């Protein structure tokens, strides 16, 4: 069984807002990078990380993109839809839209989905999406 990593460990590591906990998490991630341990996390954890960094720590979209890309690309960290998440991070920072919308845009692209019903005009910024209102 591969242990699951919750949002708060990633936040401690990225922000060092609690130096003792940040140091402990850094040691854990070092073991993971060296292949001595494997971990897993989820799409919802990544979404929560983006939200916390943006709303509480006031990080820019580019800072968040760089921080989260490093996490997602960590060897021996299992996460579903890694490529879609990475593409979503690019859209999030380049198109200046909400991360969830950016993720969905990347998901649509990967499945060749072009039509979305939404009142959210951020989807109009994505060239492969045909946003429609009911």
Computed over every residue of the chain, the mean pLDDT equals: 96
Using CA atoms, how far apart are residues 107 and 84, in angstroms rounded to an integer?
Answer: 6
Using CA atoms, how far apart are residues 85 and 23, in angstroms rounded to an integer?
Answer: 27
pLDDT given at position 55: 97
Provide mean pLDDT across the span 94-122: 96
Residue 23 CB-half CA count within 13 A: 3
pLDDT over 70 percentage in the chain: 100
pLDDT in tens, 31-65: 999 999 999 999 999 999 999 999 999 999 999 99
Domains and CATH numbers, the chain: 1-80 (3.40.50.1010)
Using CA atoms, how far apart are residues 68 and 73, in angstroms rounded to an integer?
Answer: 8
pLDDT band at 19 (very low <50, low <70, confident <90, very high): very high
Using CA atoms, how far apart are residues 32 and 93, in angstroms rounded to an integer?
Answer: 28
Q: Are 34 and 21 in contact (CB under 8 A)?
A: no
Which of 58, 45, 57 is closest to 15 using CA atoms? 57
């Amino acid at each position: 069984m591969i242990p699951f990593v919750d949002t708060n460990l990633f936040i401690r590591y990225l922000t060092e807002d609690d130096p003792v906990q940040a140091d402990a998490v850094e040691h854990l991630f070092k073991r993971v990078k060296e292949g001595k341990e494997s971990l897993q996390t989820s799409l919802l954890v990544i979404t929560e990380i983006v939200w916390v960094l943006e709303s509480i720590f006031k990080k820019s979209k580019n800072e968040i993109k760089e921080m989260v890309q490093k996490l997602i690309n960590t060897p021996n960290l299992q996460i579903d839809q890694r490529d879609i998440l990475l593409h979503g991070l690019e859209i999030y920072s380049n198109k200046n839209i909400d991360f969830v919308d950016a993720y969905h845009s990347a998901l649509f692209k990967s499945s060749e989905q072009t039509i979305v019903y939404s009142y959210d005009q951020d989807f109009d910024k994505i060239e492969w999406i045909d946003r429609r209102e009911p």
